């Protein structure tokens, strides 16, 4: 009998505001830029990319591209996305 697997999708795990906040806080604490972009993509998909597109004024396709692995989005795009998602980028002395 063959083993069946399903792809893991982090966005499916982000099912409450508390989980989203804890997830994003951990990613920010790690400080890896690629992971931060990837995490924003997961959160955006969990909340709804169409709604995010409306709130940021950016197109859905542009958002998917900007928040995909290996992307190098502009900083103003990251700010628009984090604000629309109700997240904050904070600074602390290391």
pLDDT tens digit string along 19-67?
Answer: 999 999 999 988 889 999 999 999 999 999 999 999 999 999 999 999 9
Please count the structural domains in the chain: 1
**Would the pTM count as exceeding 0.85?**
yes
Q: d(Cα 67, Cα 41) in Å, to the nearest integer? A: 5
Q: Is residue 7 part of a domain?
A: no
- Within a domain: 62: yes
- Report CA dihedral (91, 72, 65, 18) to the nearest 10 degrees: -20
For residue 89, being part of any structural domain is answered with: no
Domain assignment of residue 3, yes or no? no
Residue 16 DSSP class: S
For the chain, the first-to-last Cα distance in angstroms comes to: 52
10 in a structural domain: no
Q: Residue 47's domain spans which residues? A: 15-84
Provide the pLDDT confidence category of residue 94 given band limits of 50, 70 and 90. Answer: low
88: pLDDT strictly greater than 90: no
């Amino acid at each position: 009998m063959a083993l069946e697997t399903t792809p893991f999708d982090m966005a499916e795990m982000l099912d409450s505001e508390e989980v989203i906040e804890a997830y994003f806080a951990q990613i920010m604490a790690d400080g890896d830029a690629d992971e931060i972009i990837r995490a924003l993509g997961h959160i955006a998909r969990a909340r709804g990319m169409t709604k995010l597109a409306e709130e940021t004024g950016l197109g859905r396709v542009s958002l998917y591209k900007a928040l995909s692995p290996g992307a190098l989005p502009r900083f103003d795009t990251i700010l628009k996305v984090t604000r629309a998602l109700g997240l904050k980028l904070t600074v602390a002395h290391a």
